[in-house]
Structure 1
């Protein structure tokens, strides 16, 4: 039965991925948009740790070496609901968006290896911004509207193998694809026609990640885990067209294009540098676990993109520090269901690497930082399957330097179905 459920949900989720618009953040204006945190609900509930963490029935999107410890075929399906409050120094606005965050299947190979395949969103674009220039009497002399939509999805395949009792290695290959549309409309007072710059791009590119995990059994059933991954530098190629034309607006706000001023081809790229992640954890299997993780990446560059033409932003080095863990009172409790529930919590401190100039001088750039506190529950179902619920409160950005602060509440939900596939029956 579980195999039929997996096939049905896989087909439904794959179609939904292509159609979803899952972002309303103004910061999705920059670069490839707002990048998704490509972790499972379980990992996100523990502050995002995962490079050293492994489990016999859980997916792991951080370190492919973790699949060497997989013992059950596991299907995972995740959903995110984001409640966002956007604040400036004078105003605030609320929005809500819901999206599918991953569809993945992991299968063990014997007792020393495993692999996983899946589909995830990589980034999402969904913004609508405006900037007004006022006359000395307070009337509007010029207004510029910025808008964008689209995003990038990612298909991945991971493989992990245990070389020795304590050491596992893994490799992951992925391919990103998607389309993004950005536009700028400028309307001046006493000018009958507005102008619009529209950029339509397709984005493609592959990447490779290498991972390793070391597991050491200590006294009193304690287990020490160490892990590291390196995602190699790669390019996301950008192709498309940009259009510059004049237009008028109808009384209802609709656009009526007039004269095309220029059309040109786009052929650029995002150059994404190497990303390194290191972590350590300690605990008792199916009892408790505590871990820390650090991630670092150099600045990446962009070429031939609309958002880069006004020099309103640039990239610096990014890094993240996470700490988290779980507690499971009694996995085989008969008298109490809540003793079989897994309780998770974590913290995340992140420097996104994005620097934005809110003054318009192109000289005063502010680092955009992100902080989140999370917790979650693993609710057991029959056999080995679970429903995982995660909650995260966070803040990104600042109202200083004429910028925007985002306060968000993320509710994540996943269904994790585990079973023993490809096992030869002993009794017919």
Structure 2
């Protein structure tokens, strides 16, 4: 049975790694069709595994010895001493786009994360994994009247694809009975392309115009975290978590190519950056069966350069609340072993349109943690409804329904059996 489970784990690891590799190497494998990904580095990925996604994104104060919490590296010290944890997740989504007069639908699938974690010492845990950092993917066309003409129109087509990926290695240390600290170091890489094409279908004498932005980005990212747990009594406990990630300039090889029907010009641009991130959260745990938590995260994107400019982005704030209920871990009833989760969040996106913040984002989430019998492994299922609300009438509204599937394997790879 043990060999069977380890073989199954290896096969699933290979399959999910193939999906991740396809996502990172294929420009067509975008998990978004949002026109808002025209701005900045694209749509930022949420840092959360299966349980966090179902709880509105709450993560900074979570400590679970059977699940990976890569949002706060201090949590790695909670890993069980005998197990090796492997965690992978994917998402399926349907998005409706509307500007008041036109409605469109788009379907996408995406790789969310692959992580693993194990204990290195009684007071230390190690984790590593592959995560998306941002995603770009859109294609849209609009018709505009030609200035000074009453019978001619111009067709403008926008296309974009690519994104950044994050490979991390982290460690968490329990330095005192109730205090843990940790750090992640990540390698960031990816390519982003934005294209604007102007054509005049009603007038062949007019020259077409094409503007193409190509960026190849490589950089690093550091994340530091801490968690403090206070045990009020046998049944009541609270964990406070904080995270910090310093902002910095990224190594960027970027060009803008402008092409007309008669000439092409290329200019070099540079200086893209990631912001400083500050986050804090807490979780209250009752009797190991009920978890209630909240998180607040702030990123100063307004100070991060994009295409040599600092005024193209705005600060991002996210507030999350969530809960998990575990009815009865001692029961023989399978339904009593299911973890029931729900949450909600608000986020102010970091991109600007026409010089001002374009939208606000709201989401509600719910999910289940389905245990695999006679193991500590489980399948995490969650559903998310996300509303991106354009602040002005000319901006798009987006309604997204997303299903997330995560599989967490807990294998006792470090357990030595005694043979009589």
Q: Distance in 1 between matches of 2:151 and 2:389?
A: 30
Q: Which residue in 2 is equivalent to 1:301?
A: 304
TM-score (norm 2): 0.90
Deviations along 1:241-264, one digit per CA (max 9) or x if unpaired, are 3322235xxxxxxxxxxx442133
| C-alpha displacement of 1:378 | 0.4
Say yes or no: does 1:144 pair with 2:156. Answer: yes
Aligned-partner SS, 1:219: coil
- Note if contact 2:358-2:395 (Cα within 8 Å) is conserved in structure 1: no
Identify the match of residue 12 of structure 1 among 15, 21, 30.
Answer: 15
* Long gaps (5+) in structure 1: 248-258
Q: Distance in 2 between matches of 1:265 and 1:367?
A: 28
Q: Which residue in 2 is equivalent to 1:254?
A: none
- Note if contact 1:108-1:114 (Cα within 8 Å) is conserved in structure 2: yes
| C-alpha displacement of 1:269 | 2.5
Q: Distance in 2 between matches of 1:138 and 1:420?
A: 74
Q: Which residue in 2 is equivalent to 1:246?
A: 260
Could you say if the C-alpha distance between residues 285 and 425 of structure 1 is closer, same or farther in structure 2, counting changes exceeding 3 Å?
A: farther
Cα-Cα RMSD: 2.1
- Note if contact 2:358-2:391 (Cα within 8 Å) is conserved in structure 1: no
Identify the match of residue 83 of structure 1 among 90, 94, 111.
Answer: 94
Could you say if the C-alpha distance between residues 366 and 164 of structure 1 is closer, same or farther in structure 2, counting changes exceeding 3 Å?
A: closer
Say yes or no: does 1:94 pair with 2:105. Answer: yes
Say yes or no: does 1:25 pair with 2:34. Answer: yes
Identify the match of residue 355 of structure 1 among 352, 355, 359.
Answer: 352
Does 134-143 or 219-228 show the bigger shift?
134-143
Q: Which residue in 2 is equivalent to 1:66?
A: 75
Deviations along 1:61-120, one digit per CA (max 9) or x if unpaired, are 210000101103210110111110011021111111001101111112233211111001
Q: Distance in 1 between matches of 2:8 and 2:386?
A: 34
Q: Distance in 2 between matches of 1:285 and 1:235?
A: 45
Deviations along 1:268-314, one digit per CA (max 9) or x if unpaired, are 12222210110111113541110111111112433438xx8xx9x83
Identify the match of residue 380 of structure 2 among 379, 388, 400.
Answer: 388
Say yes or no: does 1:371 pair with 2:362. Answer: yes
Aligned-partner SS, 1:315: coil
TM-score (norm 1): 0.89
Q: Which residue in 1 is equivalent to 2:406?
A: 414
* Long gaps (5+) in structure 2: none
- Note if contact 1:323-1:348 (Cα within 8 Å) is conserved in structure 2: yes
Identify the match of residue 316 of structure 1 among 314, 318, 338.
Answer: 314
Q: Which residue in 2 is equivalent to 1:179?
A: 191
Q: Distance in 2 between matches of 1:124 and 1:421?
A: 35
Q: Which residue in 2 is equivalent to 1:213?
A: 227
Q: Distance in 2 between matches of 1:395 and 1:414?
A: 23
- Note if contact 1:87-1:405 (Cα within 8 Å) is conserved in structure 2: yes
Could you say if the C-alpha distance between residues 273 and 60 of structure 1 is closer, same or farther in structure 2, counting changes exceeding 3 Å?
A: same
Taking the TM superposition and a 5 Å limit, the aligned residue runs for 1:199-210 are 199-210=213-224
Could you say if the C-alpha distance between residues 407 and 274 of structure 1 is closer, same or farther in structure 2, counting changes exceeding 3 Å?
A: same
Q: Distance in 1 between matches of 2:77 and 2:284?
A: 18
Q: Distance in 2 between matches of 1:10 and 1:199?
A: 35
Taking the TM superposition and a 5 Å limit, the aligned residue runs for 1:160-179 are 160-179=172-191
Q: Which residue in 2 is equivalent to 1:282?
A: 284
Corresponding pairs, count: 404
**Which of the pair is proportionally richer in strand?**
1
Aligned-partner SS, 1:17: helix
Say yes or no: does 1:153 pair with 2:168. Answer: no
Identify the match of residue 116 of structure 2 among 105, 122, 134.
Answer: 105
- Note if contact 2:385-2:402 (Cα within 8 Å) is conserved in structure 1: yes
Q: Which residue in 2 is equivalent to 1:328?
A: 326
Could you say if the C-alpha distance between residues 50 and 205 of structure 1 is closer, same or farther in structure 2, counting changes exceeding 3 Å?
A: same
